[in-house]
């Protein structure tokens, strides 16, 4: 049993308990060998004698120990001592992304995308090591005090050593992929789906699918279309909307195929938020909505029942500091048994599973009856339909190739109308009008007539009744946040506060509102107000040495903007690297300041020409040279290119060459001088005898400068 003050592994002193999960506890400890604080994750005693649990604990440690990345909570050590199984990992001070979203209601698209980029990089490192997280969600993402984003809890990750691995892990149902919900094969693209749901929550402050039971939520992941985040926050850029939709496709083949693709689009969205660069993969049968089989439904109910039973044990295994109070992070990885094909149920859990299965069966029967009444109840009478089920499946009727029929949605609820348009590949915008004849939330008009042929992707404006209880949104810009919040709440509105910076408007004054003043909306609608934080000061990061795209991301993450971009030749930095920034690294400037950058084109590509007349050796160069003597002449550039090599006794010699990469060269002249020759007369015969001398080579060089072309 672990006690405060005890020493584990002869080096880790247990200081305090900082968290607990379903099958393990986490303690803050001090490593006396390296003199640093760490988190020690210890398997609970009641599980330490269970071979399956110990095996799972070891698998978790082995999977996580192979990962070292700045966006992952790193594992330092793994061990066992006197029956205590433990993992030593990095201690991170900060809060979970879940808590961060709750504090800010929702994040700006720039902040959400920047966080998603860091999360993606951490997951990419795991995928490169053949490790799938399988439980990506805001509770498992930590934002440190320094603003670094880290992915934690690889507790249910498993090394993907073959192509036939099937996960038994349900995961957290709000973020689980359709294939996980069905209990089928899951791979890297399952993490991409979960990250897409997490990005959706960052942007909107809510999850896309919710329900009273885990079964209901799981079924929605499998069968219901993902609502567009722009339905909740209209100002979300089109590219970011496209990224979320592509991440959350039902079919894995229609999602991003790897994290590199996702990171590239996320970075591009910061540079071109309204750009049309997100490529949605072609539809296939796997991507369509389909009914669940009986076996799949049974699997979902069983897994959901197990999750409900174990969910009480969830709690973050790391307690990190956030101001005055420690923050609890959830740790869902310990609730699930990975090894084997079945869960290790206890009798109480078995009874609970049976009860939940019966209840779920009753609920499904009721739903089937209600749907049958709605589908068949209005046949044969002249009543107007009240929703899409009255005329069958909305997307059954199509127009010509590339076109779809506009359904008649007047009299439908807003939700049904949106679903009908989405099913046909159309988009919806909403405006509200007061009506004395239609109830609140009922469509009373459209800007396109029914049965019109529309190109797929057309945006249709729905006019929706506010009933007789609509309220006109007052103007609150220019007011203090306290006054604005009071006025809006007095009128029955919900208020979401978003922080922003302004060089012109003082702190705590509202600088923007959505919807705008003068628009009538239903009572209780949410009004988003942006409140000035004054002139925010931010630290300028180092951009020099980064690529243009990475530098843009770094500046955006720091709260800055990229100003003028120029491209220059620079021999110190390779092509496409930033070689200049207008504000030095580490300086503090107002948030939103534009930083001018210069991007290197690489070393300047300069060429030279040689137009020279080579003269004979001079007396100064070659005192013993005899005019007319044959000379070996060579001309070589400083980078080793041979331009001229010949023997001649005639001077001057011309040398004309172009497109040279070197700015200068060397002329070498080599000639021979004869030494020691004599003439004698034979005394006996009187014959003249000539004794030839010895030829000695001589050489010298001349430096020659070329002319820049």
Distance (Å, whole) CA 255 – CA 262: 9
Sign, CA dihedral 115-120-126-129, equals: negative
Q: Tokens at residue 113, please?
A: 């995308």
In sequence order, what E strands does 295-340 have? 319-322, 325-328
Classify burial at 151, counting beta carbons within 10 Å of its beta carbon; exposed 0-12, middle 13-18, buried 19 or more. Answer: buried
| 180, 170 contact by CB (below 8 A) | yes
Classify burial at 284, counting beta carbons within 10 Å of its beta carbon; exposed 0-12, middle 13-18, buried 19 or more. Answer: exposed
Quick check: is 483 catalytic? Answer: no
Our CA dihedral for 111, 114, 116, 119, rounded to 10 degrees, sits at -130
Residue with tokens 């002329």: 667
| 241, 230 contact by CB (below 8 A) | yes
**151: which strand partners?**
72, 141
Residue 291: CA count within 13 A, CB half-sphere: 4
Distance (Å, whole) CA 195 – CA 177: 10
Distance (Å, whole) CA 496 – CA 512: 12
Distance (Å, whole) CA 246 – CA 263: 13
| 280, 196 contact by CB (below 8 A) | no
Q: What is the DSSP string of 240-260?
A: HHHHHHHHT-SSGGGS-SSHH
| 87, 78 contact by CB (below 8 A) | yes
Max Cα distance, the chain (Å): 153
Classify burial at 659, counting beta carbons within 10 Å of its beta carbon; exposed 0-12, middle 13-18, buried 19 or more. Answer: exposed
The catalytic position among 10, 25, 77, 135 is 135
Q: Tokens at residue 215, please?
A: 């079964």
* Nearest Cα residue to 335 out of 204, 469, 170: 170
| 477, 501 contact by CB (below 8 A) | no
Beta strands 594-600 and 561-568: pairing type? parallel
Backbone angles phi, psi at 240, to 5 degrees: -70, -40
Alpha helices (H) along 49-145: 51-65, 97-104, 109-128
Residues with a catalytic annotation lie at: 135
């Amino acid at each position: 049993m672990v006690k405060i003050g005890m020493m584990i592994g002869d080096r880790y002193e247990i200081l305090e308990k900082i968290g607990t999960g379903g099958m393990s506890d986490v303690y803050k400890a001090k490593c006396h060998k390296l003199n640093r604080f760490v988190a020690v994750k210890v398997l609970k005693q009641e599980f330490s004698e269970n071979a399956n649990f110990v095996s799972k604990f070891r698998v978790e440690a082995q999977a996580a120990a192979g990962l070292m990345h700045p966006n992952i909570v790193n594992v330092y050590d793994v061990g066992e001592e006197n029956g205590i199984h433990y993992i030593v990992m990095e201690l991170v001070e900060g809060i979970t992304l879940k808590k961060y979203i709750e504090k800010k209601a929702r994040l700006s698209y720039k902040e959400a995308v920047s966080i998603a980029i860091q999360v993606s990089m951490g997951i990419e490192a795991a995928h490169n090591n053949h490790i799938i997280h399988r439980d990506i969600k805001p509770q498992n993402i930590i934002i440190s005090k320094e603003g670094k984003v880290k992915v934690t809890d690889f507790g249910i990750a498993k090394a993907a050593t073959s192509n036939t691995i099937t996960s038994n892990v349900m995961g957290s149902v709000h973020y689980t992929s359709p294939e996980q919900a069905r209990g089928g094969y899951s791979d890297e693209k399952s993490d991409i789906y979960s990250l897409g749901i997490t990005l959706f929550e960052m942007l909107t402050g809510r999850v896309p699918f919710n329900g009273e039971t885990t079964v209901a939520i799981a079924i929605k992941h499998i069968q219901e279309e993902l609502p567009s985040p722009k339905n909740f926050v209209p100002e979300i850029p089109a590219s970011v909307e496209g990224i979320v939709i592509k991440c959350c496709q039902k079919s894995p083949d229609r999602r991003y195929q790897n994290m590199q693709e996702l990171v590239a689009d996320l970075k591009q969205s910061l540079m071109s938020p309204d750009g049309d660069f997100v490529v949605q993969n072609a539809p296939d049968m796997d991507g369509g909505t389909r009914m669940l089989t009986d076996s799949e439904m049974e699997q979902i109910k069983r897994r959901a029942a197990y999750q409900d039973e174990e969910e009480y044990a969830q709690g973050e295994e790391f307690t990190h500091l956030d101001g005055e109070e420690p923050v609890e992070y959830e740790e869902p990885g310990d609730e699930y048994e990975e090894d084997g094909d079945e869960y290790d149920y206890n009798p109480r859990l078995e009874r609970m599973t049976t009860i939940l299965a019966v209840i779920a069966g009753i609920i499904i029967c009721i739903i089937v009856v209600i749907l049958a009444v709605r589908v068949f109840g209005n046949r044969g009478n002249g009543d107007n339909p009240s929703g899409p089920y009255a005329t069958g499946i909305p997307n059954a009727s199509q127009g010509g190739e590339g076109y779809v029929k506009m359904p008649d949605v007047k009299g439908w609820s807003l939700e049904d109308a949106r679903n009908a348009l989405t099913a046909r590949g159309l988009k919806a915008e909403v405006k509200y009008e007061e009506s004395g004849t239609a109830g609140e939330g009922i469509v009373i008009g459209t800007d396109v007539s029914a049965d019109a042929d529309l190109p797929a992707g057309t945006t249709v404006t729905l006019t929706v009744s506010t009933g007789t209880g609509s309220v006109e949104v007052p103007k609150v810009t220019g007011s203090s946040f306290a006054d604005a919040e009071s006025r809006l709440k007095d009128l029955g509105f919900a208020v979401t506060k978003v922080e922003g910076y302004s060089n012109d408007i003082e702190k705590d004054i509202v600088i923007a509102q959505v919807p705008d003043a003068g628009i009538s909306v239903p009572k209780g609608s949410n009004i988003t107000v942006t409140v000035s934080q004054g002139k925010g000061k931010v630290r300028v990061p180092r951009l020099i040495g980064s690529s243009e795209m990475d530098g843009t991301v770094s500046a955006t993450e720091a709260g800055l903007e990229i100003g003028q971009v120029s491209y220059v030749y620079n021999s110190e930095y390779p092509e496409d690297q930033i070689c200049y920034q207008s504000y030095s690294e580490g300086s503090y400037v107002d948030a939103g300041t534009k930083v001018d950058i210069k991007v290197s084109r690489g070393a300047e590509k300069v060429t030279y020409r040689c137009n020279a007349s080579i003269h004979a050796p001079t007396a100064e160069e070659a005192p013993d040279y005899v005019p007319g003597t044959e000379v070996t002449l060579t001309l070589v550039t400083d980078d080793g290119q041979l331009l001229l090599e010949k023997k001649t006794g005639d001077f001057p010699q011309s040398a004309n060459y172009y497109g040279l990469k070197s700015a200068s060269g060397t002329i070498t002249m080599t000639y021979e001088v004869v030494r020691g020759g004599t003439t004698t007369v034979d005394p006996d015969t009187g014959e003249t005898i000539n004794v030839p001398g010895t030829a000695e080579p001589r050489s010298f060089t001349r430096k020659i400068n070329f002319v820049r072309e």
